[in-house]
Chains A and B, each alone.
Chain A
């Protein structure tokens, strides 16, 4: 809502209050003012002039030489290029020394040899928004009405000395979608009176011939029709144009402008029909027939459904109630006879129709939020008075009224105790009553209880808490004291799950990975390309109306997010990327979602490029499988997850079949890690990239805390190194498992310290060297014992894997 400061001052005394002070006060008491704008874009020293003579420039076809009376002793000679300049016009003249928007300064000058002592201005040159200009003022110089006073300051005549307060209204304060509503608010803040416009109608016509019938009684609660004859359609006086433009509305003609003016003044949408087009002067308010059509004011043919409320005559539709008038009964330059509608439609009906038709007029905005039902008729009468005043129409006797039901004011009670408890204040009754007085809310008070009759203009107030807010905001939020909740002491803490996430986050950061957070909405093809961790079939959760294909389904795996992030970085020359993300995936088990999808938290990581930054020691370290695996191993270690095994996995979508492992903790499948499949790398335009993905809930199940410590050993350990030669397809995991099994309890630790393939052994073989540390907790081991165990280990290895000792 754009509020003209000058216009507002007609309803409430603003003397001594600047527009900016007013804005600050409004904002601090609940009506946020987004901006205060001067209507003057930098205009000074412009006056109203009268074109006494106009002649052609002797040396230029397109220029005119005008003699202009600007109320000074001497007339001015002004050269003007506008084709529409004519003798007898009232125009806006920028005098020598005038400023115009865009840092333009008017000087005495010669145009093709003829002296020009100023400039005749167009509306655009004065900085007026041409989208809001009446049609006759959009082209050429601005021609003013005949009654404009010669020599008068044009800034003031055009209302450019006004300020506009732009309100950012919250949905509950639709009462401030009207000048009078804002006036009420300002009056409450400053403790002033609201001055209502005087309504003077001379019923100088015949009896009102209009009949009103309401068939749709649910949707339309009242309808008042005024009737006019002998109207003269013309353009509105400048003061009305100024106000409409200040409010962001385009002046059209004196009748339509009045309906818009009163819409702004009262917040009551009105509509004027050319009565000669209304059959029998008979208005019927009914629901449309399914498929009924009407051509609206914007010349669009609209097909309606049976929920649409329609204003009709006995033969045809005249207007879509509350949304837009029909073209057939539009006010035009030849209109003489008018029916003015002031009605009340339910917010729901206008809202649903405006949605369905995709039309949201200024009227719709007000209908949707609720119009004050007790001011409908008054607003209509105000408009009738203005129409008579501006168009010279005769007003027929009486109002054609049909009222199904009137609005009822809400009665809400509140106690002082409740107010103080809710606010934490210690107000007394003598501080509260004046607040209701200022709001002009009638009330009865019994002890410390108020029974308040809330005016219908404030439909947002229905509960005691709503009154508490009124008291609070007018008392001043600043004056509310500060305290902390008392009561039972509570212990704030993280849940195990929340703690686990923090531990993982910190560990991976310490391990050199950057935390990333990505969009959960991804493209469907990306989801199909890569593996998740879920078992069984799942469909991605898809949006009904996505904004783009790229963000249309929820991820079922972190891989699309991670790989997109790596790709994004690669496109920006960031080739070395090590990242992780803790985030949710969404699994939809049904074909059509009835229950909420399953949400699981995964932790995933991606690594590519060089692991070590370039350094003077020269050692480059490109990321490989084992670098990534080391990160995962260290994480599992930090979480106390034991008995971890890595199983080669050759069939995970998007993963390299020979370089991927599933991570298991006993029977618990934690996730997977490995190299991204070259095909997928290509799809994302990546170079060699490694990823892991683990299910947080499963990590939580497998995790353990630090338990009892192991006493430090009292007896020495014995170390034996075994270098084994095996076929190339024998895995380290197989050898380790076999060694552990055969060595039994005496084996304290087992470390693989060398892997070799090359010239010194057969081509189809590889060598792996293990260090075995043996210890007995209660005594020193004997050589023979070690020998026995070692022999058993070698035998077992030979049997299980065909391993030979390397000589």
Chain B
């Protein structure tokens, strides 16, 4: 009996190892372990054994059963895995083919710059103020210390609609309007982005319509050092932490003292290159301390409060930052141009 068990085990294991598919394996299982299988048949023969032999043989039968069960399970997994392998192999695709296109748009480069600047100043506690693009002469010029016949009006030839109404030539009237609305409240901390218009023939560097961002701070005890510090903070955030600012005396009718602000050339980092005409500096902003007459006209007492203002051309920054050679690209919207500003 024991010998037969041993022989059966050997032969069964041998057959299992030869099996190549699940059906054969199932058949073998029935043959050996099924209700009418060989092992069951052998068990039936146990009755003829002596009481001493029975436990020994019983134990042996169980061992054989377990060994076979294990072999069947193992073989089944091996077969399953082979099938899966074959299936996966048959599903192979060319992963280098391009994906299904998802059309994505782009933000206009001027919007990118404006939003970036807005966000920096929002972080510094500024609000964003806006005003009409068609403006009264009064707000565009007179409130900014540019009375009629002022020679500085030559600096910006304008598009008039009537004798008193024109397309604004700068975003500064928004400053005047905001201060008037605040009725003497402090602090005033605003930036004013927007479109402006001047009588210029359109060419690579001139546009009759362009974009400005101006800033204004009015409060007690504001000094020119605050202007310098604010612009330095802005420059570092916008153009990198090693940025420097340089102020040069200048003139604007609505500020006194006035300053042109140069930033380190962001093309060469200050070493001197074609972009900065070998100076290492690029003129980016006009700025100054708000002229006392401007404060007065807007309802603030220049003895009590002071302020600074600054303004920059968005196109100029975009042209420098992205190397755009022709300002007209911003307004003709060639999609081959727009598509390049595609970083989220």
Contacts and interface: CB of A to CB of B under 8 A. Distances in A.
Contact of A520 (B136, B195, B232, B291): B195
Residue in B106, B135, B160, B257 whose Cβ sees the most chain A Cβ within 10 Å: B257
A776 to B, nearest CB: 39
A498 B111 CA distance: 13
B125 A489 contact: yes
B151 interface: yes
B171 to A, nearest CB: 14
Contacts of A569: 333-335
B104 to A, nearest CB: 6
Contact of B335 (A463, A494, A502, A577): A577
A170 interface: yes
Contacts of A463: 256, 292
B149 A351 contact: yes
A349 B222 CA distance: 40
Interface stretch (A302-310, A541-549, A665-673): A541-549
Contacts of A541: 134, 161
Contact of A547 (B122, B208, B339): B208
B161 A485 contact: no
Contacts of A351: 149, 151
A477 B257 CA distance: 10
A173 interface: yes
B246 to A, nearest CB: 7
Nearest to B128: A498
A514 B105 contact: yes
Nearest to B245: A482
B33 interface: no
Nearest to B220: A487
Contacts of B90: none
Interface stretch (B24-32, B76-84, B223-231, B267-275): B223-231
B100 to A, nearest CB: 7
Nearest to B232: A482
B162 A422 contact: no
A770 to B, nearest CB: 29
Contact of B331 (A422, A517, A576): A517
Contact of A30 (B167, B217, B248): B248
Contacts of A482: 225, 228-229, 232
Contacts, number: 257
A129 interface: no
Contact of A494 (B122, B134, B229, B332): B122
Contacts of B107: 505, 509, 515
Given A485-B217, A508-B105, A492 B126 contact: yes
A421 interface: yes
A463 B289 CA distance: 13
A597 interface: yes
A30 B250 CA distance: 5
Interface stretch (A381-389, A578-586, A638-646, A718-726): A578-586
B221 interface: yes
A518 B332 CA distance: 7
A519 interface: yes
Contact of A509 (B106, B221, B292): B106
A491 B152 contact: no
Contact of A492 (B127, B217, B338): B127
Contacts of A613: 101, 103
Given A514-B335, A547-B201, A565-B333, A480 B247 contact: yes
A592 B161 CA distance: 10
B249 A29 contact: yes
Given A584-B133, A593-B162, A597-B134, A512 B105 contact: yes
Contacts of B106: 509, 514-515
B106 to A, nearest CB: 5
A15 interface: no
Contacts of A502: 115
Nearest to B333: A516
Nearest to B189: A490
Interface string A343-372: 000011001100000000000000011000
Interface stretch (A431-439, A466-474, A752-760): A466-474
Nearest to A511: B105
Contacts of B40: none
B306 interface: yes
Contacts of B217: 485
B247 A477 contact: yes
B68 to A, nearest CB: 48
Given A478-B247, A492-B123, A612 B159 contact: no
Given A484-B230, A514-B338, A612-B101, A596 B108 contact: no
Given A423-B224, A485-B187, A544 B258 contact: no
Contact of A515 (B155, B256, B257, B338): B338
A578 B162 contact: no
A572 B337 CA distance: 12
B165 A424 contact: no
Contacts of A565: 332-333
A197 interface: no
A171 B151 contact: yes
Interface in A447-502: 463, 465-466, 468-469, 472-473, 477-478, 480-495, 498, 502
B266 interface: no
Contacts of A617: 100
A727 to B, nearest CB: 36
A518 B103 CA distance: 23
A515 B187 CA distance: 35
A513 interface: yes
Nearest to B200: A547
A492 B122 contact: yes
B35 interface: no
B136 A596 contact: yes
Contact of B334 (A468, A485, A572): A572
A615 interface: yes
Interface string B195-222: 1010101000000110000000101111
A472 B257 contact: yes
A580 B258 CA distance: 39
A480 B225 contact: yes
Given A487-B187, A599-B133, A615-B100, A517 B223 contact: no
Contacts of B331: 517-519
Contact of B165 (A480, A484, A517, A593): A593
B89 interface: no
B251 A515 contact: no
A441 interface: no
Interface string B323-344: 0000000111111101100000
Nearest to A468: B257
A485 B333 contact: no
Nearest to A516: B333
A586 to B, nearest CB: 6
A612 B100 CA distance: 9
A520 B197 CA distance: 10
B55 interface: no
A568 B333 contact: yes
Given A30-B250, A466-B256, A477-B248, A579 B162 contact: no
Interface in B122-162: 122-128, 130, 132-136, 149, 151-152, 154-155, 159-162
Given A495-B127, A554-B134, 9 more contacts: A171-B155, A352-B149, A469-B249, A489-B125, A511-B103, A514-B105, A519-B208, A579-B333, A593-B161
27 contacts: A28-B249, A32-B260, A171-B251, A352-B149, A368-B151, A421-B306, A472-B224, A477-B249, A482-B232, A483-B228, A490-B125, A490-B127, A493-B122, A505-B107, A514-B108, A514-B335, A515-B107, A515-B111, A541-B134, A544-B160, A554-B134, A568-B333, A574-B334, A580-B105, A596-B134, A596-B136, A613-B101
Interface of A: 27-30, 32, 170-173, 347-348, 351-352, 368-369, 420-425, 463, 465-466, 468-469, 472-473, 477-478, 480-495, 498, 502, 505, 508-521, 541-547, 551, 554, 565, 568-569, 572, 574, 576-580, 584, 586, 592-594, 596-597, 599, 611-613, 615-617
